[in-house]
Amino acid sequence: MSKIDREEAELLDLFNKGQLQSVATKSELAQFKAAARATAIKDRRVNIRLSSGDLSDIQTKALEEGIPYQTLIASVLHKYVSGRLTERPASGAAPSLHNPML
């Protein structure tokens, strides 16, 4: 086991004493649970080709969300096929009528 620094030791001590509280909102927790449920049942493998830029952007978004990038991709695809992913209009722009689900 690797050594932990002072800050990690303090956090571990607070955790063991039950003094840490979650900062996630109920909405965020529901999102995390939905993403986990949507990606937990993995019975098929799919290979796709992405541009390096898109993959890099996906990995960055996944890092910001604190989830693996493949989980993020699976979650986005699940939301799309279940009709829960909708286009957000750019500021000041009207929603697109051509592809409302992107």
Output the tens digit of pLDDT for each of the chain's 102 residues: 568 889 989 988 998 999 988 888 888 888 888 877 766 677 788 899 999 999 999 999 999 988 899 989 988 998 898 888 888 777 665 555 444 444
User: Do the Cβ atoms of 62 and 72 come closer than 8 Å?
Assistant: yes
Burial class of residue 75, CB neighbours in 10 A (0-12, 13-18, 19+): buried
Q: Is residue 64 part of a domain?
A: yes
- For 77, the domain range is 48-85
Contact 20, 14 (CB under 8 A): yes
Q: Is residue 52 part of a domain?
A: yes
Q: Is 55 among the domain residues?
A: yes
Structural domain contains residue 36? no
User: Would the pTM of this model clear 0.75, i.e. be above it?
Assistant: no
DSSP designation for 26: H
User: Nearest CA to 99 among 77, 3, 89?
Assistant: 89
Report yes or no on 60 lying in a domain. yes
CA dist., res. 86 & res. 102, Å (int): 6
